[in-house]
Chain A
Amino acid sequence: MSERPVLLAARGIGKRFGGLTALSDVSLTIREGEIYGLIGPNGAGKTTLFNVLTGLYIPDAGDFTLDGRSLAGLKPYAVAARGISRTFQNIRLFADMTALENVMVGRHVRTRSGVFGAILRTAAERAEERDIAERARALLAYVGIDRHSNIVARHLSYGDQRRLEIARALATEPRLLALDEPAAGMNPTERQSLGQLIGRVRADGTTVLLIEHDVKLVMGLCDRVAVLDYGKKIAEGEPREVQRDPAVIAAYLGTPVDAPAPAVTA
């Protein structure tokens, strides 16, 4: 596992909002082909870290690199072009576009046609449009919602909306797919099949960064896990070790470290 090359390396990331320190000195490395979990109690800074890594926030301190190239300070669209794509905790689809169109928008960053190509309908533009639609359809099938491709995103069921977000993110051909609580609001069956989908994404060669509250899902799926608490990384390692880490248990259950503490279970 550890001999795999490093894909994303974050060093000493810090972010504050006014007087509130949301992240301080967070470092982590994600290796190619792994599913890396990010867990922690509410308000621990998981989504803030996510927003830093995807260019939405500019970190006050630290740097992060993808394939050795620094991404700190880049705009979100530039980060997406470099290969980090994300989903959102509170679903942010293009609500009035169809499922297919949503995924087609994801192809934007990997395609070129401009205004003049569109107005003149050049051969290159038409070929590109066909390719965009084809790939988008394939991705909808990949996440299992191709039967809804012509349905407006806002009318999809909650679980399907989550899947559509994943398809849209995959359309940008990311090196790293960052999922912000993809299982939130799903029932156990949906969670299970979502877990299978994430496993398949990894098997097909995309590294996954996963924020999740569902401990069972994280423990079953992730190769390594980092735990955030009050903006600091308090543990990192394989799920089994982290689960037994006294600091983690304290963060989740609030028991003092020296008191007899139960292990975190699902």
Chain B
Amino acid sequence: MMSLFRDGASSKQASRAAIVLIALVLIALPFALAQAGTAWVRITNLAILFALLSLGLNIVVGFAGLLDLGYIAFYGVGAYCYALLASPHFGLHLPFWVILPIGAAVACLFGVLLGAPTLKLRGDYLAIVTLGFGEIIRIFLNNLSQPLNITNGPQGVTLIDPFRVGSFNFSKPEQWFGLAVSGPIKYYYLLLVVLVLVMIVNVRLQDSRIGRAWVAIREDETAAQAMGINTRNVKLLAFAMGASFGGIAGGMFAAMQGFVSPESFVLVESIMVLAMVVLGGMGNIWGVVLGAILLSFVPELLRYTVEPFQKAVFGKTLIEPEVIRMLLFGLALVLMMLYRPAGLWPSRTRRRELARAKRAR
């Protein structure tokens, strides 16, 4: 990878060409996927949503080293914020650029609410408390239908407004230059833009004073404190930042689906996002995105291949795709722990530091 960018001018050109190429592929991608079925575009959109979530969780777990097992709660808070402010449920129909910041702010507040009482906990204990927090949020969403109907309980909130800018509606199919552009394709581009923005924010935070303070706390909290880092505030900041990314992702999820219910925010989802972060490589932004995309796509690929394969070979389905998925998922995690404990794309700054050292010489 690094050899591509080794020396001076030619490397700059090469990397610029690579970026243009990747951008072109990403722009063309949804149309190619649409050939295989709009379902694949939807799956891609969900993968990007999960990448957003993983990037948010990466701040908490990867940078600051705070094991959070209830992260999906912030996704839920963001989703319900959007659902309640843009649906017939309360008769409110605020535009999305108003709600998304509100969702991020409310999720951020919940992040601080979770962070404050857990400041003194580390490792397993923190994991247990955050797990409980995630469940509390879900159970609240499930039960806040009486005496006052706020969340509409297990039925969830339906008929949520799609994103709209003026007369431009994100969920309505259109023709652009003779190309059929479905709703999911429009959302794909929006998600892609948000993903790029969130990645830029992540990269910038990582190479900043606050980012270093997070990593210092992860490495040695006592030493970090002795070096003048207000560990309480800096940890709360990590929770708050991570949560607001989750809130934004949640809002987009609600708008895309048009429907939210507590079922989407169960513990397994939290664990899934954490698995994406760990699989890709904790603390490494590209690794985390890779992990999210792999773990979103591979199960879907299996869903589409396992059954036809068995039918062709054995004439009938011996093992349900769902079972195989979980089997392979478990196997992959075990293999990862054995052979790549630091993730598929590990290391944070190490390669870059080495390259910098080479250049300096």
Q: Is the CB of B204 within 8 A of A105?
A: no
Q: Is the CB of A77 within 8 A of B231?
A: yes
Contact flag A56-B226 (CB < 8 Å), given A105-B216, A115-B237, A150-B354:
yes
Contact residue among A56, A125, A150 (Cβ-Cβ distance under 8 Å from B356): A150
Cα–Cα, bound, A259→B215 (Å): 56
The 8 A CB mask of B193-237 against A (1 = contact, 0 = none) is: 000000001001101111111011001101111111111000001
Contacts of A80 in B (CB 8 A): 225-228
Q: Please indicate the chain A residues that have their CB under 8 angstroms from the CB of B216 in the complex.
A: 94, 97, 105, 108
CB-CB under 8 A from B353, the residues of chain A are: 98, 150
Q: Determine the distance from Cα of A235 to Cα of B205 in the docked complex, in whole angstroms.
A: 51
- Quick check: is A190 within 8 A (CB to CB) of the other chain? no
Given contacts A92-B222, A111-B209, contact A121 B229 (CB under 8 A): no
CA distance A59 to B112 in the complex (A): 31
Q: How far is the CA of A117 from the CA of B205 in the complex (A)?
A: 9
**Interface set, chain A 102-136, CB cutoff 8 A to B:** 104-111, 113-115, 117-119, 121, 125, 128-129, 132
Contacts of A111 in B (CB 8 A): 209
Tell yes or no: B305 within 8 A of A by CB. no
B357 at the interface (CB under 8 A from A): yes
The residues of A that contact B219 with a CB separation of less than 8 Å are 93-97
Chain A residue with Cβ nearest B212: A105
A118 neighbours in B (Cβ, 8 Å)? 204-205, 208-211
Cβ-based interface call for B350 (8 A): yes
B208 x A77 contact (CB < 8 A): no
Q: Contact: A85 with B226, CB < 8 Å?
A: yes
Q: Complex: how many Å from CA A115 to CA B223?
A: 22
Minimal beta-carbon separation of B253 from chain A (angstroms): 23
Q: Name the distance in Å between A1's Cβ and chain B's nearest Cβ.
A: 30
Q: In the complex the two chains form, is A114's CB within 8 Å of B210's CB?
A: yes
Query: Is the CB of B241 closer than 8 A to any CB of chain A?
Result: yes
Interface presence of A230 (CB below 8 A): no
Does B349 touch A at the CB level, under 8 Å? yes
Residue A215 at the chain B interface, CB threshold 8 Å: no
In the bound complex, how far is the Cα of B231 from the Cα of A108, in angstroms? 12
How far does the alpha carbon of A106 sit from the alpha carbon of B227 in the complex, in Å? 5
Measured in the bound complex, the distance between the Cα atoms of B229 and A111 in whole Å is 11
In the assembled complex, which residues on chain B have CB atoms less than 8 Å from the CB atom of A106?
A: 227-228
| Residue of chain A at shortest CB distance from B360 | A150
Q: How far is the CA of A75 from the CA of B241 in the complex (A)?
A: 25
Closest B residue to A81 by CB, please name it.
B228
Scan residues 163-201 of chain B and give those whose CB is less than 8 A from a CB of chain A.
201
> Roughly how many angstroms separate A192 CA and B49 CA in the complex, as a whole number?
58
Tell me which residues from 68 to 108 in chain A have a Cβ below 8 Å from any Cβ of chain B. Answer: 75-77, 80-81, 85-86, 88, 92-98, 101, 104-108
Chain A nearest CB, measured from B170 CB (Å): 26
Complex interface: chain A residues within 8 A of B220 (CB): 92-95
A152 close to B (CB within 8 Å): yes
CA distance A54 to B223 in the complex (A): 11
> In whole angstroms, what is the CA distance A95 to B223 when docked?
11
CB pair A85–B227 under 8 Å, yes or no, is: yes
Taking the complex as formed, is A172 at the interface, i.e. its CB lies under 8 A from any CB of chain B? yes
Question: Does A168 sit at the interface, judged by CB under 8 A?
Answer: yes
Partner of A75, one of B204, B225, B349, B357: B225
- Complex Cα spacing A88 to B223, Å: 8
A182 to B241, CA, bound (A): 38
Q: A97-B219, A105-B216, A121-B204 are in contact. Are A86 and B354 (CB under 8 A)?
A: no
Q: Which residues of B contact A76 (CB under 8 A)?
A: 222, 225-226
Nearest chain B residue, comparing its CB with the CB of A96: B219
> Which residues of A from 54 to 74 have beta carbons under 8 Å from B?
54, 56
- Complex Cα distance, B208 from A125, in Å, reads 9
A105-B226 contact, Cβ under 8 Å, with A97-B219, A119-B205: no
- Interface 1/0s, chain A 27-63, versus B by CB < 8 A? 0000000000000000000000000001010000000
> How far, in whole Å, are A80 and B226 apart by their CA atoms in the complex?
6
| Shortest distance between the CB of A126 and any CB in chain B (Å) | 10
Complex CA distance for A86 and B211, rounded to whole angstroms: 22
Contact of A105 among B201, B224, B350, B354 (CB under 8 A): B224
Q: In the docked arrangement, what's the CA distance between A70 and B110, Å?
A: 37
Expressed in whole angstroms, the minimum distance between the Cβ of B75 and any Cβ of chain A is 21
What residue of chain A has the Cβ atom nearest to residue B222's Cβ? A92
Q: Chain B residues near A119: list those with CB within 8 A.
A: 201, 204-205
Cα distance, A57 to B261, chains bound together (Å): 48
A77 vs B217: C-alpha distance when bound (angstroms): 12
**How far, in Å, is B202 (CB) from chain A's closest CB?**
10
CB distance from A196 to the nearest CB of B (A): 25
Roughly how many angstroms separate A77 CA and B232 CA in the complex, as a whole number? 10
CB distance from B153 to the nearest CB of A (A): 37
The answer for the CA separation of A93 and B228 in the assembled complex, in Å, is 14
Q: Which one, A75, A113, A150, contacts B208 given CB within 8 A?
A: A113
- In chain A, what residue has the closest Cβ to B233? A77
B204 surroundings in chain A (CB, below 8 A)? 118-119, 121
Of chain B, the residue at the smallest CB distance from A75 is B225
Closest-CB distance, A164 to chain B (whole angstroms): 12
Minimum CB–CB distance from A209 to chain B (whole Å) comes to 14
Decide: B213 and A108 in contact? CB cutoff 8 A.
yes
9 other A-B residue contacts (CB within 8 Å) besides A76-B225, A77-B230, A94-B219: A88-B223, A93-B220, A97-B216, A105-B216, A108-B227, A109-B229, A114-B209, A152-B350, A171-B227
Would you mind naming 6 contact pairs between A and B with Cβ atoms under 8 Å apart?
Answer: A56-B222, A76-B226, A93-B220, A95-B219, A107-B209, A108-B209
In the A-B complex, list the 4 residue pairs whose CB atoms are closest, starting with the nearest.
Answer: A109-B228, A118-B208, A80-B228, A94-B219
Which positions in B face A, CB cutoff 8 Å?
201, 204-205, 207-213, 215-216, 219-220, 222-231, 237, 241, 349-350, 353-354, 356-357
